[in-house]
Amino acid sequence: MTYETILYASAGGVARVTLNRPDRLNSFTAQMHEELRDALAKVTTDASARVLLLTGAGRGFCAGQDLSDRAVAPGDAPVDLGASIEQNYRPLILTLRTLPMPVVCAVNGVAAGAGANIALCCDLVIAAQSASFIQAFCKIGLIPDSGGTFFLPRLVGTARAMGLSMLGDKLSAQQAVEWGLIWKCVEDAEFKPTVDALLAQLAQAPTRALVAARRALHGSAHATIEAQFDLERDLQRELGFSADYREGVSAFLAKRAPQFTGK
């Protein structure tokens, strides 16, 4: 498939997807959803990819749904938003949450509506200092979707989740870090080199262990401690048979840097 609304590249263990409709702040059209689905399917089967980067072109990360596709002429039937979520946003979020490699979201600018929650579903969210997060839904009569009502209370607690959802205020990247919404924010001038260094680190990491850690952390939200111990035991057992674990222990004992292969 030829891409017109995203950029895709994979090299050196890093797959990069850039949302690329900068004049519309990379808001989502049906075409962008289709292209992103295709790219994520590619990433999933790309044995050389050890980390995925999701970012945006231009001054924004993503402004959610393209609202010009939601204008309804008088007398016309409104768009079925439930169908849009079912066909597009839900599979997108669930795919990003279960990719067989860590997912870094580099929030280069404003992340609004579904754009904010797509960022929040990623494993590591790093933002430029000038970026911001807006649960813009209430401004157009909607609720936070794309997992927003799931992620927000878990990340920042109900009080802050409620404020963000009901007021739709802009949260600065710095505030997002202080609230525990995202992992890190860095000065704009340091953003690209910091993201590149992070990607290089993750491309050399024991991929299976990172994916298993994600699975265990996600599973913990509703688990009892006994169930969580069961899961940790099972995942650790699997990892104990992995080439990367063997390499990690050998490297430690030989006092050398490990050469992980992601296997």
Instruction: Give me the residues that bind ligand T3D (CB under 6 A), please.
Output: 24-25, 27, 63-68, 70, 81, 84-85, 89, 110, 112-114, 134, 136-137, 139-140, 142, 145
Q: How many CB atoms lie within 10 A of CB 222?
A: 7
* Shortest Cβ 261–ligand T3D spacing (Å): 39
Distance CA 122, CA 125 (A): 6
Compute the half-sphere exposure of residue 47: CA atoms within 13 Å on the CB side of its CA. Answer: 2
- In degrees, to the nearest 5, what angle opens at C-alpha 59 toward C-alphas 169 and 2? 120
Closer to ligand T3D by Cβ: residue 117 or 207: 117
CA 34 – CA 28 distance, rounded (Å): 10
Count Cα neighbours of 190 within 13 Å in the Cβ-side half-sphere. 9
Q: What minimum distance in Å lies between the beta carbon of 34 and ligand T3D? A: 14
d(CA 26, CA 9): 18
65 forms beta bridges with: 28
Which of 191, 171, 45 has its CA nearest to residue 117?
171
How large is the C-alpha radius of gyration of the chain?
19
Which residue lies nearer to ligand T3D by CB, 89 or 191?
Answer: 89
**From the CB of 16, what's the least distance to ligand T3D, in Å?**
23
- Which residue number, 29 or 261, has a Cβ lying nearer to ligand T3D? 29
With CB atoms as reference, the residue minimizing the distance to ligand T3D is 64
The residue among 129, 124, 127, 136 whose CA lies nearest residue 164 is 136
Please, what is the minimum distance in Å from the beta carbon of residue 138 to ligand T3D? 9
User: Is residue 177 a contact partner of residue 185, using CB atoms and an 8 Å limit?
Assistant: yes
Report, in Å, the least distance between residue 114 CB and ligand T3D.
Answer: 3
Q: Which of 109, 170, 175 is nearest to 138 (CA)?
A: 170
Of 57 and 110, the one with the shorter C-beta distance to ligand T3D is 110
Nearer to ligand T3D, 182 or 210 (CB): 182
Cβ-based nearer residue to ligand T3D, 110 or 199: 110
Of residues 168 and 248, the one with the C-beta less far from ligand T3D: 168
Shortest Å, Cβ 170 to ligand T3D = 7
Nearest distance in Å: CB 85, ligand T3D: 6
